Structure 1
Amino acid sequence: MAQSGKQVTYQRIGWVRYSNRLQLSERVAFVAEVDNRVFLSEFREQTFSLRSAVRYTFHPQIDATLGFTYAQQYPQNPESDLVVPELRPQQDITLKQEIGKVKLNHQYRLEERFIRKTIEDELASGYRFNFRFRYRLQGEVPLWHGETQEVKLVVSDEVMLNAGKSIEYNTFDQNRLYGGVQWEVSPALALELGYMKWHQQRPSGSNYFNRDVARLSVSHKLQLY
């Protein structure tokens, strides 16, 4: 890596996610998510984000979502206290299919990222902008099924690409390879525990993050109609 000029930083991260889905009608749902990520080695904040979205079901196999995320990116350097906010409108479409007992989801997402500008170790006025395109292939395999409970194996791979005038070297942004086990406690509540291998290229083009991530997800569904 030294000969190629690449610099790779290894990190261990813990990620806790809570998602609430309010089903307003047969086709329309409101989704709210809270994500909190921490560095495990120093046990300090890495990223905190809030997301809200409206999801519309065109067909049992087609969903579309219009959403917005507010995120705070905490410093990679523990000696810095700079927190960089980001405003992120986003749109996505999910195509669903079944192959035998396996359920597949193809999610295509477009994000418009407004990231607060910085000068050295301070926030500056204004935002830098870029697009980010995301594609995720996810598979769900049933492992056990009871009357009201179910256990699934969840496997996914997601690639993200940057575009825009501010992008010079990191058109490839990151890749997330994930595997986990989901326990549907009831039709309204699901718990998921998994592991993610997360590779990310930084704006310089020569700096990379290699991350091992343990993720706990809690999903809550409420039907209001």
Structure 2
Amino acid sequence: MPIRKFIYAFFLLTIGISHAQTEKKIDNQSILWSRYYTIVNLNEKWSLHSEFDNRLFLKPVTENLFVIRSQVRYKASNSVELGGGLGFFHVATQDPENTTDFMIPEYRGQQDITWKNTIGKIQLSQRFQIDERFIRNASKTELLSGTTFNWRFRFRIQAEYDLWKKDNRFLKTIVHEEILLNAGKSIVKNKFDQNRIYAAFQYGINQKIAIELGYLNSFQQRASGVDYYDRDIIRFSIFHKLKL
């Protein structure tokens, strides 16, 4: 498919961009992401996904941000899914040493197309997602009027493998890599946003509840173009499936 060729070219281009910069200044950070994720199956084709996500710096312990997201997903076929939704982000700080007395809101739209297929016992998925980000303007001490808009383009490839399965319980491992690119008038030096690599174990307690624990490394370019965050992230998730 032509769109897949475009995605792979997009992936290779971002790798080149990420290595083009020299004299990098890298800040290492440790963060805990905790998430409650609900899936409401409306029927065989449509479902509603909602997410509550809190992110906390660990050295020192400081609030990073809080996220509320909701999206509608449509199963177009056995291998293709479409999704679209909205998100609200409340950002406390990106630097645990420099806390502020206010939080910066961000409103975000998102749309994605996901391809799924199975190779032997491995379940593969590829997701191409577009984010529309509306970030509230702010100084170092207060919120200002208006918002700044930019696009973000994301491509993720993921593999899942069942280690054990019995009745409604299971244990599987998940790995993925995701490339994120920025675009828009406000983006000057950080067209490459970040690269994320993730590995996790997910345990299904029953047919409704599953828990997941994983490690995510995020290497993110900042607005200066030469400053970066290298983040070690522990991610704990609870998944809750419901039916109407």
Indicate the SS of the match to 2:44.
coil
TM-fit CA distance, 1:5: 3.7
Name the counterpart of 1:209. Answer: 229
Name the counterpart of 2:92. Answer: 74
Matched, 1:182 2:198: no
- The 5 A counterparts of 1:3-18 are 4-18=22-36
Amino acid in structure 2 at the alignment position of 1:60? N
Amino acid in structure 2 at the alignment position of 1:38? L
Amino acid in structure 1 at the alignment position of 2:151? F
Query: How far apart, in 2, do the equivalents of 1:17 and 1:5 lie?
Result: 35
Name the counterpart of 2:172. Answer: 152
Amino acid in structure 2 at the alignment position of 1:119? S
Taking structure 2 as the reference length, what is the TM-score of the superposition? 0.88
Query: How far apart, in 2, do the equivalents of 1:79 and 1:141 lie?
Result: 41
Judging by fraction of residues, say which structure has more helix.
2
**Identical columns (%):** 42
TM-fit CA distance, 1:187: 1.6
Indicate the SS of the match to 1:186.
coil
In 2 relative to 1, CA 149–102 (structure 1 residues): closer, same or farther, beyond 3 Å? same
Matched, 1:220 2:240: yes
TM-fit CA distance, 1:111: 0.5
**C-alpha RMSD of the superposition:** 1.0
In structure 2, runs of 5+ residues without a counterpart are 1-21
Matched, 1:47 2:65: yes
Between 215-224 and 77-86, the greater mean CA deviation after superposition: 77-86
Query: How far apart, in 1, do the equivalents of 2:140 and 2:160 lie?
Result: 45
Indicate the SS of the match to 1:204.
coil
Amino acid in structure 1 at the alignment position of 2:125? N
In 2 relative to 1, CA 79–29 (structure 1 residues): closer, same or farther, beyond 3 Å? closer
Name the counterpart of 1:33. Answer: 51
How many residues of Structure 1 are paired with residues of Structure 2 in the alignment? 221
In structure 1, runs of 5+ residues without a counterpart are none
1:166 to 160, 173, 186: 186
- Aligned structure 1 segments of 4 or more residues deviating by more than 6 angstroms: none
Judging by fraction of residues, say which structure has more strand.
1
Query: How far apart, in 2, do the equivalents of 1:118 and 1:39 lie?
Result: 22
Matched, 1:143 2:154: no
1:140-188 deviation line (CA, Å, top 9, x unaligned): 0111111221100100001100001110000000111000100011121
In 2 relative to 1, CA 25–125 (structure 1 residues): closer, same or farther, beyond 3 Å? same
